[in-house]
Amino acid sequence: MPAQKRSTTPSRTELLSTLERSSKKAQETWLATHDSAVEEYGEGERAHRTAFASLKHSFEKVGDHWEEKDHKGPSDPQAARRGAAARAGGDGDSAGGVDANASKAHLLDVAKRLDVRGRSRMTKGELVEAIQKANDRATAAARKNDA
């Protein structure tokens, strides 16, 4: 009788808080990709990075959760990278789940929903950075309330 393989895949109860507050589709996207990546690469950073790359292809972080994007595709220059270039990363061009490739009008709408002040005078790059900071604040506040 073959030995059963012990699963190291996160269960729904072990999802990151931002995914717990997201749609079932976002959760399933992350979990399915993570499961596949664990089979391919083993448990660890690479499996998590792969799962988030997949998530960011179809979802964007808005506040303390992930929402489905109107279009599929990489959300920022880091998400567009593959292989060794993606693993090297580290040069600060990840937008942390903000869809930096979205239109300025979309970013203005997200910034309005997050009550980002001064948004109408911001460049597209400034909007991405302001949304990322607003997302971080919203996530921190949600985690504090969850505790």
Dump pLDDT digits (tens) for 15-60.
Answer: 889 999 999 999 999 999 999 999 999 999 999 889 999 999 999 9
* Mean pLDDT, residues 73-90 taken together: 65
Q: Categorize the per-residue pLDDT at 3 as very low, low, confident or very high, splitting at 50, 70 and 90.
A: very low
pLDDT at residue 146 in the model: 81
* Mean pLDDT, residues 86-109 taken together: 80
* Separation CA 51–CA 31 (nearest Å): 7
Q: Is residue 79's pLDDT more than 80?
A: no
116: nearest Cα among 62, 71, 59, 56: 62
